[in-house]
Chains A and B, each alone.
Chain A
Amino acid sequence: MMLLVIAVASLFAGVGVAVAHFLGNLDQSTYRNLLLAVTAVWFVTATIWAYRKPQN
């Protein structure tokens, strides 16, 4: 469950960094790097969550 929460939070974080860039709080380079980081978090957590073994 925690993995799913982190995965979903990373998606919101991706939109968040874009908003921060729009508001002038992040420069373009930082925005792009953070977007790459949240992408990595999404793929790791969502993949593990999707392929986890069902619990009895």
Chain B
Amino acid sequence: MASRLKNLAAQMDALNEFDREPVHEGSLQSASRFAGLFAGEHVAATEFVIGAFFVLHGVTAKDLLLGLLLGNVLAVLSWTFVCAPIAVRTRLTLYWYVRRIAGPGLTLVYNVANALMYCILAGAMISVSSSAIGIGFGIPTPSLNDVLPNSAGWVVLTLVIGFLFTVIAVLGFEALSRFAGICSPWLFMVFVAGAIATFPSLGVHANLDNLWEVLETKVWNGKPVDGQEQFGFWQIAFFAWFANLAMHIGLSDMALFRYAKDWRYGLFTSTGIFPGHYLAWICSGLMVAAAGRELDPGRMAFGAAGIVGVLAVMIAGWTTANPTIYRAGLALQSVTPNWPRWKLTLYTGLVTSVLACFPVFFVRLLDYVAIYGLVLMPVGATVFAEHWLFPLLGIEQYEAEKKRMLFNWKVLVVWVGTLGACAVMPLHLFYRWLPGYFLALGMYVMLNLGRRIAR
């Protein structure tokens, strides 16, 4: 078993070999490059769903605007003060840094967990696209309480779309990535135009004198729809903060920031976060309110922007599901020895397509986003503790690397223990990651206190 795991870990290393070395000084990127890089991020298919959900959860207009402001500022600060400094100091990807800390075996487990999370997320994107294409075929989108598929038509449509997305991911990932870059500004325009076009049906006067009143009474009116829990300021703020938890607190974006000349480049994430996780969420909220407060991304986009809205939902799902399927395939490549990349992407895409048939991942997207970040967060906490706290406390760093450990059991205990504690915390799901993070930091430091070096 141990030798099998060693082989798998060696294969994983081989896959990541190209970025094994720290980034060289000559490869560092300028501030403007970073600003541009992030500007195109965070306008995805999920934005059509997330902003709409805030309306359905009965948040008030004031809580939404202030909650999103606070949460997004905290997210940008998390990138700037947690993720970017470690990336700039190490110039490594998270993969190689976790490997030094957790050992190659546990890093493999982490990658597989990450891949499964990616599959579910890509499945939700495919579902969103299906809701748009389903309009043309008269196939109803599953309702908010559906767990299983609601019709054979939905299953067939989702499988066909998933299969097409997968084939495209197999055939031309690079070309599609480039095409996604072209789509991003246009998608943002559709969000804004669609939202403005809903004003007449919401009753906004041309001189905007009743805009705030309409927002408070017809859009974010503080009344959740049947079966949905009421959200307030803190749920919104925490959601905006943890929507990319795996990327900032979970440190996945070390892969990008290792190219930054300065850790303050983390602030450039605001160029993508505020258009995507502030303005686009507000726009999709307006669209769902105009569409009768019914979660159906395809129909609400059609109502706001006609055929262009449907195209936007479809393309947003497509361009965001594809890299996700590709990344999941990449992460799983180590556990499928000798499989070519195309074959693995194909199988990953097919599994993702099957998952997409189950509307639970799409209609419970907010909870899923919370769980996604929560699952990967403890590993980010152990990296933070090892990088910053160990030198401060005089604890020797990189035990796993120095002792050539396959598994650092302390990281495993922290990971499993933190998730166990989070599972039983008497708190709303959205809030659990924060005490969980400090718990993980504390546990990891306590477990390593015996390794303090005499000064």
Q: Give the B-binding residues of A (Cβ under 8 A).
A: 11, 14-15, 17-19, 21-24, 28, 31-33, 35-36, 39, 42-43, 46-47, 50-51
B316 to chain A, nearest CB (A): 13
Can you pick out 17 interface pairs between chain A and chain B where the beta carbons lie within 8 Å of each other? A15-B196, A18-B196, A24-B200, A28-B306, A32-B305, A33-B306, A35-B305, A35-B306, A36-B308, A39-B308, A39-B311, A42-B185, A42-B186, A43-B186, A46-B182, A46-B185, A50-B182
List B200-220 residues whose CB lies under 8 Å from chain A. 200, 204, 206
Instruction: Please indicate the chain B residues that have their CB under 8 angstroms from the CB of A31 in the complex.
Output: 197, 306
Q: Give the A-binding residues of B (Cβ under 8 A).
A: 178-179, 181-182, 185-186, 189-190, 192-194, 196-197, 199-200, 204, 206, 305-308, 311
Choice from A15, A32, A51 contacting B307 with Cβ under 8 Å: A32
Shortest 5 CB-CB distances between A and B: which pairs?
Answer: A32-B306, A18-B193, A18-B196, A11-B189, A14-B189
B206-A18 in contact (CB<8A): no
B192-A18 in contact (CB<8A): yes
Q: Decide yes or no: A35 and B186 within 8 Å by CB, A22-B199, A22-B204, A50-B181 being known contacts.
A: no
Instruction: Please indicate the chain B residues that have their CB under 8 angstroms from the CB of A32 in the complex.
Output: 305-308
**Complex CA distance for A21 and B308, rounded to whole angstroms:** 15
Instruction: Please indicate the chain B residues that have their CB under 8 angstroms from the CB of A18 in the complex.
Output: 192-194, 196-197
Q: Decide yes or no: A15 and B189 within 8 Å by CB, A24-B206, A50-B178 being known contacts.
A: yes
The dominant DSSP class at the A interface is: helix
**Complex CA distance for A51 and B181, rounded to whole angstroms:** 12
A35-B206 in contact (CB<8A): no
Instruction: Please indicate the chain B residues that have their CB under 8 angstroms from the CB of A39 in the complex.
Output: 186, 190, 308, 311
**Complex CA distance for A45 and B182, rounded to whole angstroms:** 10
Max count, chain A CB within 10 A of own CB: residue among B186, B194, B206, B311: B186
A17-B308 in contact (CB<8A): no
Q: Which residue in chain A gives the minimum CB-CB distance to B183?
A: A43
Max count, chain B CB within 10 A of own CB: residue among A18, A21, A24, A46: A18
